[in-house]
Chain A
Amino acid sequence: MFDLDTWQEIFSTIRKNKLRSILTAFSVAWGIFMLIILLGAGQGLQNGVKANFEADAVNTIWISAGQTTMEYKGLKPGRFLRFTNRDYYETDIQNKHDIDQLAANINVYNKNISYGKESVNYRVVGTFPALEAVELPNVTEGRFINKFDIERQRKIALISSKIQKELSKNEENLLGKWIKIDNISFKIIGIYEEANDRENNKVYIPFTTAQQSFGLINRVDFISMTLTNLTIQETIKFENKLKKQFASRHNFNVEDKRAIFINNNLKNYEQILLLFAGITGFIWLIGIGTIIAGIVGVSNIMIIVVRERTKEFGIRKAIGATPWSIISQLLLESIFLTTIAGYIGLVLGVGVLEIISKYMPKSDFFLNPEANIEIAIVATLLLIVSGALAGLVPARRAARIQPVEALKEE
């Protein structure tokens, strides 16, 4: 069955029925190609968003002040709330058990930052050493802010490598150099670089320095923290507890949705994971649909092939072909074609994904598209088997009927 002659017979049949062979091969190759692209795109999306999330610690909570929308204890709605150092201290004291790292932060937008003749405008963030655990800035040179910087209100700063490049046209390393923020000199003690480019647009300075230097005594813009190991349910409970603490401190209704904003990253993360489960399910649905379409395509072609060749089989039987020789020839033809075509689809799909991941501009939502090769191979095998099975039924019938019947076919 697997001797050279059988293969020569199969090759010559395939070669001499080009259109039919190409159509079969195309439907298989296309199915596999689409499956690979789909799986790859899904994986890329997932990788992208996951990388985005992993830029920050997962179990973090951010709190910022808003505007009240509900009347409370005689206070009219529409009040703007402001956080102060007291919020920071009391949050720290009241939640020692739940909070791992806690940072109060000041956000100052559009500060003029200059070095020599170059000057740029960026956001300045006054913060605590704890932020390093919350935001996970990727410090490539030097160090992050420490507690002595806070205690002594040191005039030091961390800039991103992007800002460094903009400040020194001749690619100078600014670590240890002095820059000016609003004409106040700061020494650069660290350079950071984030994968997500939007995160590279800020300058970190000590929280106390920010309050003192920019005349923002007692001001806190947002509080960020990481939590000790809490489950999603526990973080939601903790979120509510925090809200109550802030409500009593600032006199607003706990039900007020806009008085303060609490961003629970773990909750978001869980939601994103859920979303991905959805996307993955959807991709599978489409993928399975594509495979089914491929199976139907191959089956159809096989059925047509058998019908088309019934007369040929009749001739072959008249000159001594056994039913099995006809069935095996047909199956080998089909298996050979679908295997080659499936492999081509596989290679093309993986190739396209490689090209995409190499040449596509960096994006926050798409990273390293890659297909699960095992799934692709299983899908190819599935197509091969189903193509063979689809051919088997009509082939058996064609092989069984009396040659005289087969010869009558046109």
Chain B
Amino acid sequence: MLRIENIHKSYPMGKSKLHALKGVSLTVNDGEFMSIMGSSGSGKSTLLNILGLLDSFDQGLYYLDNLVIQNLTETRAAFYRNKYFGFVFQSFNLISFKNAMENIALPLYYQGVSRKKRNAIALEYLERMGLREWANHLPSELSGGQKQRVAIARALVTQPKVILADEPTGALDSQTSLEVMELLKEVNREGITVIIVTHEHDISQMTNRIVRLRDGMIIEDIAVEKKDTICLT
């Protein structure tokens, strides 16, 4: 479903260049639940952003659903992002002046869904997240866990093929982190591919596949042994 070959990406850092990805190749199949691990600066977020078409790459090949992704116009990229991906960020990235329901409904606005219909759909998702009564609250009135659940609902509302989560638990306490991970797992059970970037071992252990990056290169790509229950502490 997602396939990249020999991707290079560098950022200008003043006069020198930061080589963030040094020839990364990766294939992600439909319905996978995987995590990308690495310390900060390993290039894991860059990889996720490239996969999600939020960032461009310098060199290499990217096949998205057998489409070659190359020299995309922003308009085209917006279309693909809306169709294929749902994003979950560490800092939630909710729009501060829109309430929970409006935030969730926003991707549907860009799909041209009518206001009534998209608000109804957004409410359904809020219900699913257990946040029905928080529909009219602004993000500033929600707790971190609630915000992340709203963000996940927003990512899901377009029924994407892939959820890309960049440190989704990075700003949450362990109990809330667990809840969020359970939610993502449930999402994955419905057949949606979930890719999580994290540096936390516990979090990555909950996924089925771990790709480990160091200095812009994949150093490990392993399947996690299946456990039926998750041991806490």
| A residues neighboring B (CB under 8 Å) | 4-5, 8-9, 12-13, 16-17, 311-312, 314-325, 399-400, 402-404, 407
| Interface contact B54-A5, CB-CB below 8 Å | no
Inter-chain contacts of B154 with A (CB < 8 A): 319
User: 1/0 per position for B58-98, CB-CB distance to A under 8 A?
Assistant: 00000000000000001100110111000101000111011
| Interface contact A318-B110, CB-CB below 8 Å | no
17 contacts between A and B (CB under 8 A): A8-B115, A16-B97, A16-B98, A17-B97, A311-B93, A314-B93, A315-B95, A316-B95, A317-B54, A319-B81, A320-B111, A322-B74, A322-B79, A322-B110, A399-B74, A402-B55, A404-B55
Inter-chain contacts of B55 with A (CB < 8 A): 402-404
Inter-chain contacts of B95 with A (CB < 8 A): 312, 315-316
Distance in angstroms between the alpha carbons of A407 and B83 in the assembled complex: 20
Q: A5-B115, A8-B115, A16-B98 are in contact. Are A320 and B158 (CB under 8 A)?
A: yes
Q: A12-B102, A319-B106 are in contact. Are A404 and B49 (CB under 8 A)?
A: yes
Inter-chain contacts of B74 with A (CB < 8 A): 317, 322-323, 399-400
Inter-chain contacts of A8 with B (CB < 8 A): 115
Q: A324-B75, A404-B49 are in contact. Are A319 and B97 (CB under 8 A)?
A: no
Partner of B106, one of A311, A316, A322, A407: A316
Distance in angstroms between the alpha carbons of A49 and B27 in the assembled complex: 86
B114 contacts partner chain A, Cβ-Cβ < 8 Å: yes
Partner of A403, one of B54, B106, B111: B54
Distance in angstroms between the alpha carbons of A402 and B94 in the assembled complex: 18
Inter-chain contacts of A320 with B (CB < 8 A): 78-79, 81-83, 107, 110-111, 158
B25 contacts partner chain A, Cβ-Cβ < 8 Å: no
Least Cβ–Cβ distance between A254 and chain B, in angstroms: 83
Which positions 156-181 of chain B face chain A at CB distance < 8 Å? 158
Residue of B nearest to A403 (CB): B54
Distance in angstroms between the alpha carbons of A325 and B81 in the assembled complex: 15
B56 contacts partner chain A, Cβ-Cβ < 8 Å: yes
Apart from A322-B79, A324-B75, A399-B74: 20 A-B pairs, beta carbons within 8 A: A4-B115, A12-B102, A16-B97, A315-B93, A315-B94, A316-B110, A318-B52, A318-B81, A319-B87, A320-B78, A320-B107, A320-B110, A322-B75, A322-B78, A323-B78, A325-B110, A402-B54, A402-B56, A404-B49, A407-B93
| Interface contact B54-A319, CB-CB below 8 Å | no
Q: A-B pairs with the 4 shortest C-beta distances?
A: A320-B82, A16-B97, A320-B110, A319-B107
Which positions 128-180 of chain B face chain A at CB distance < 8 Å? 154, 158
Distance in angstroms between the alpha carbons of A157 and B109 in the assembled complex: 86
Distance in angstroms between the alpha carbons of A156 and B211 in the assembled complex: 118
Distance in angstroms between the alpha carbons of A137 and B9 in the assembled complex: 91
Distance in angstroms between the alpha carbons of A16 and B52 in the assembled complex: 30
Distance in angstroms between the alpha carbons of A4 and B158 in the assembled complex: 21
| Interface contact A323-B158, CB-CB below 8 Å | no
| Interface contact A5-B114, CB-CB below 8 Å | yes
Inter-chain contacts of B109 with A (CB < 8 A): 5, 9
| Interface contact A323-B75, CB-CB below 8 Å | yes
Residue of B nearest to A4 (CB): B115
Inter-chain contacts of A404 with B (CB < 8 A): 49, 54-55
Inter-chain contacts of B54 with A (CB < 8 A): 317-318, 402-404, 407
Residue of B nearest to A311 (CB): B93
Inter-chain contacts of B102 with A (CB < 8 A): 12
Inter-chain contacts of A312 with B (CB < 8 A): 95
Least Cβ–Cβ distance between B89 and chain A, in angstroms: 7
Most buried by B among A13, A317, A319, A321: A319
Inter-chain contacts of A314 with B (CB < 8 A): 93
Residue of B nearest to A9 (CB): B109
Least Cβ–Cβ distance between B56 and chain A, in angstroms: 6
Least Cβ–Cβ distance between B7 and chain A, in angstroms: 15
Distance in angstroms between the alpha carbons of A207 and B119 in the assembled complex: 93
| Interface contact A319-B115, CB-CB below 8 Å | no
Inter-chain contacts of B114 with A (CB < 8 A): 5
Inter-chain contacts of B158 with A (CB < 8 A): 319-320
Residue of A nearest to B97 (CB): A16
Distance in angstroms between the alpha carbons of A400 and B106 in the assembled complex: 20
Inter-chain contacts of B78 with A (CB < 8 A): 317, 320-323, 325
Residue of B nearest to A405 (CB): B55
Distance in angstroms between the alpha carbons of A399 and B75 in the assembled complex: 10
Least Cβ–Cβ distance between B50 and chain A, in angstroms: 9
Inter-chain contacts of B107 with A (CB < 8 A): 319-320
Residue of B nearest to A15 (CB): B97
Least Cβ–Cβ distance between B2 and chain A, in angstroms: 17
Distance in angstroms between the alpha carbons of A321 and B95 in the assembled complex: 13
Inter-chain contacts of A403 with B (CB < 8 A): 54-55
Distance in angstroms between the alpha carbons of A154 and B60 in the assembled complex: 115
Least Cβ–Cβ distance between B8 and chain A, in angstroms: 16
| Interface contact B87-A318, CB-CB below 8 Å | yes
Partner of A12, one of B87, B93, B98, B110: B98
Residue of A nearest to B110 (CB): A320
Inter-chain contacts of B98 with A (CB < 8 A): 12, 16
Residue of B nearest to A399 (CB): B74
Distance in angstroms between the alpha carbons of A231 and B33 in the assembled complex: 97
Residue of A nearest to B112 (CB): A5
Least Cβ–Cβ distance between A334 and chain B, in angstroms: 17
Inter-chain contacts of A402 with B (CB < 8 A): 54-56
